[in-house]
Structure 1
Amino acid sequence: MMQTKLLSIIIPTYNMEPYLRHCLDSLIIDKGMDELEVFVINDGSKDRSSKIAREYQDKYPNTFYVIDKVNGNYGSCINRGLKEATGKYIKVLDADDCFNARALQDVIQRLMNIDTDVILTNYVIVRNEKTESFFLNYADGQVVNIDSDVVEYFSMHNVIYKRSLLKNMDYIQTEGISYTDQEWIFYPMLKADSAVFFNLSLYRYTLGREGQTMDWGTLCRNIGMIENIVMQMLIRLTDYKNDISVCRRKYVENVLQVQIELIYRVELLSKRKELCNIEILNKIDKMIFSYNLDFYKKFSNQAMYMVSYVKYFRKGIIFPNRFRHLLLLLQKLENSLKR
């Protein structure tokens, strides 16, 4: 583990016995495996996850490394993996997902001639044995300057980072909660200089598994975690807003917008028995308004739709301050249509 590798892969793992073997098998490649190191971070699993991972460590001792630790949730696994990694580049792979092995070989080969802070690839969603590809709108090999070019919104499935970028900014992911993959696509992009696009579909993202963090029921139960992450992002972006370029700001605002819309949708449209957390929504609303008025206005159309839905289908809900104004607008619109 003393030798510096080209690519480090961090695999946060908690009770992933049914999926882990498929995940690790996808990393066994014919060419370039000597440039690869894989850290399976076992987050206090109660099943056979650690034992399965150690089979790979025993068979491929120069590539696979197993680290057993007490449970600290997703971010703690990323942080531990970053401490151990020696690779020039870092990629996160969830234990219930996998890579396309051929694409992984190609990525390793191309990384030998790349020095950008960020590498972006395509990814594939796998749901009930059906696949759907998600492509970024760049030419293969295109280099993007993050300060002067518009960067498309991407997910953790798309991105590989240079390890020195994360090290120099003292990157630490929030521990003890889920959904911190949003931090992975937000904070490094405040510091990265350039990105290059590989037209390869590397990551295969599995959806539809019961208990996944993006399952609607799980989201409703844990929406407070996302709210906490978004509020911290808003604080950081407010601090940076006068020091970053227009293009960089557009990208990080897009990351925030996706998560804020998710919060509004879950809090206002979920069929939970309890009412929405008005205090938190008002707090986030004020933070958005304080950050930037134009950014604040982006949410008006979606908020209007949600107010309309809730007004007719969820009687008795108390609207957050901002949505009360929208409700009045909606009522004026209805009255004008009745005349």
Structure 2
Amino acid sequence: MKTLTISVAAYNVENTLEKTLSSFNDPRVYQDLEVLIIDDGSKDNTKKIALKYQNIAPETFKYIAKENGGHGSTINKGIELATGKYFKVVDGDDWVDTSSLYTFIQKLKMQDSDLVLTNHVEVYPDHSTKVNLINGMHSGQQYSWNDDINIKRVVLHTLTVKTSLLRKAKVHITEKCFYVDVEFVIWAAYVSKSITYLDLYLYMYRLGEKNQSVAKANMLKNIKMQEKVSYQLVRMYDRFMTENHMLPRQEETIFNTFKRSVGSTMRTYLLMPTATAKKNIIKFDSNIKQISTTSFQRLNDDRFIHLIRKGNYAMVPLAKVMYRIWVLKYGY
């Protein structure tokens, strides 16, 4: 069994895949690492680049071709085919720090925690920012959700999870849709009981490119997909609360992740004309309440969502102005 399987979501990524795969190409980790390059029906040279690395180290790099099914389908296929004890997702336009990857795998070989968290770096065209979402955890020490830890939220770039737990829970991510990474990370947090944090800046997350799904214009274009994922997260949170398996700190971490996605959908509406934004937000929020009153009420604890709802959504025009100023200043 390999120590780590990395599932690479690859759809028309000929311009970035070389950088992604080369970051895994370290002979020191060949024996312990499996890289599944899951080609989601690409029409460019994605296959050619993937096969180049499969020829370099066939024991490590494996090319898998499939019909187009979206990001979620590549994660589902990766979970199905993985042979590693641990499972991690890396998008085909991102990469890892190779030196950190070697250290990470050496430490991972000595781990048995369900969930292993690391740091990541946001890489923009003109600068980069180191991001650490963990407080109160010593690097390399195993914790449980009962311990006094503060995980602000979980994101795709920070987590590695035991493959067996994903399979046991029959994790299936929504297909033919963007923005589904949050489904995966919430599942990973939910199925995990033990957690270890490793103080490594492993994942290099590319941002600031116009063609990315997280670019503002594309988020507006794909708002229906954001809605779909938000509704799925409401159902997941409601189910997890109903099953009553979550510990308080686990619930808090999952909620912080969940609310951010719902809030992001509302913020995308704010890019629309005021009357349209208000109409869509009211409809969206009403749908959440219809799906789950538990989730609807819990979302009141988020300051932004609480503000949006205040006075029967009377604050939407002000929120729109404030958000425009924020976007102009920070770009997100």
The alignment's TM-score, normalised by the length of structure 1, stands at 0.85
Larger radius of gyration between Structure 1 and Structure 2: 1
3-state SS, counterpart of residue 200 of structure 2: strand
1:34 to 13, 21, 31: 31
1:8 aligns with 2:5: yes
Task: Note if contact 1:125-1:132 (Cα within 8 Å) is conserved in structure 2.
Answer: yes
Q: Which residue of 2 aligns with 1:300?
A: 306
Q: Which residue of 2 aligns with 1:207?
A: 207
- Distance in structure 1 (CA, Å) of the matches to 2:320 and 2:269: 14
Q: State the one-letter code of the partner of 2:194.
A: S
- Distance in structure 2 (CA, Å) of the matches to 1:82 and 1:272: 42
Which 10-residue stretch deviates more, 265-274 or 156-165?
265-274
3-state SS, counterpart of residue 241 of structure 1: helix
Q: State the one-letter code of the partner of 2:266.
A: Y
Determine what percentage of the aligned residue pairs are the same residue. Answer: 29
Q: Which residue of 1 aligns with 2:73?
A: 76
Following TM superposition, by how much is the alpha carbon of 1:48 offset from its aligned partner in structure 2, in angstroms? Answer: 0.4
Distance 1:112-1:168 versus aligned 2 partners, 3 A rule: same
Which 10-residue stretch deviates more, 151-160 or 194-203?
151-160
Q: Which residue of 2 aligns with 1:95?
A: 92
3-state SS, counterpart of residue 179 of structure 1: coil
Task: Note if contact 2:230-2:265 (Cα within 8 Å) is conserved in structure 1.
Answer: no
1:235 aligns with 2:232: no
Q: State the one-letter code of the partner of 2:187.
A: Y
Task: Note if contact 2:16-2:92 (Cα within 8 Å) is conserved in structure 1.
Answer: yes
The alignment's TM-score, normalised by the length of structure 2, stands at 0.87
- Distance in structure 2 (CA, Å) of the matches to 1:196 and 1:66: 31
Show CA shifts across 1:244-292 (max 9, x none): 2222211111111101111111113435995552433321245464446
Q: State the one-letter code of the partner of 1:247.
A: R
- Distance in structure 2 (CA, Å) of the matches to 1:131 and 1:63: 29
1:262 aligns with 2:264: yes
Q: Which residue of 1 aligns with 2:329?
A: none
- Distance in structure 2 (CA, Å) of the matches to 1:18 and 1:290: 44
- Distance in structure 2 (CA, Å) of the matches to 1:272 and 1:63: 52
1:280 aligns with 2:303: no
Distance 1:86-1:272 versus aligned 2 partners, 3 A rule: farther
Q: Which residue of 2 aligns with 1:328?
A: none
How many residue pairs match? The answer is 311
Where does structure 2 lack aligned partners over 5 or more consecutive residues?
322-332
- Distance in structure 1 (CA, Å) of the matches to 2:9 and 2:301: 37
Task: Note if contact 2:288-2:295 (Cα within 8 Å) is conserved in structure 1.
Answer: no
Q: Which residue of 1 aligns with 2:317?
A: 310
Following TM superposition, by how much is the alpha carbon of 1:293 offset from its aligned partner in structure 2, in angstroms? Answer: 3.4
- Distance in structure 1 (CA, Å) of the matches to 2:138 and 2:119: 12
Q: Which residue of 2 aligns with 1:325?
A: none
Show CA shifts across 1:195-233 (max 9, x none): 100000000000011220100011111122122222222
- Distance in structure 2 (CA, Å) of the matches to 1:233 and 1:289: 13
Distance 1:287-1:36 versus aligned 2 partners, 3 A rule: same
Which 10-residue stretch deviates more, 305-314 or 11-20?
305-314
3-state SS, counterpart of residue 138 of structure 2: coil
Where does structure 1 lack aligned partners over 5 or more consecutive residues?
315-339
- Pairwise CA RMSD: 2.3
1:52 to 49, 60, 66: 49
Following TM superposition, by how much is the alpha carbon of 1:97 offset from its aligned partner in structure 2, in angstroms? Answer: 0.6
- Distance in structure 1 (CA, Å) of the matches to 2:96 and 2:270: 36
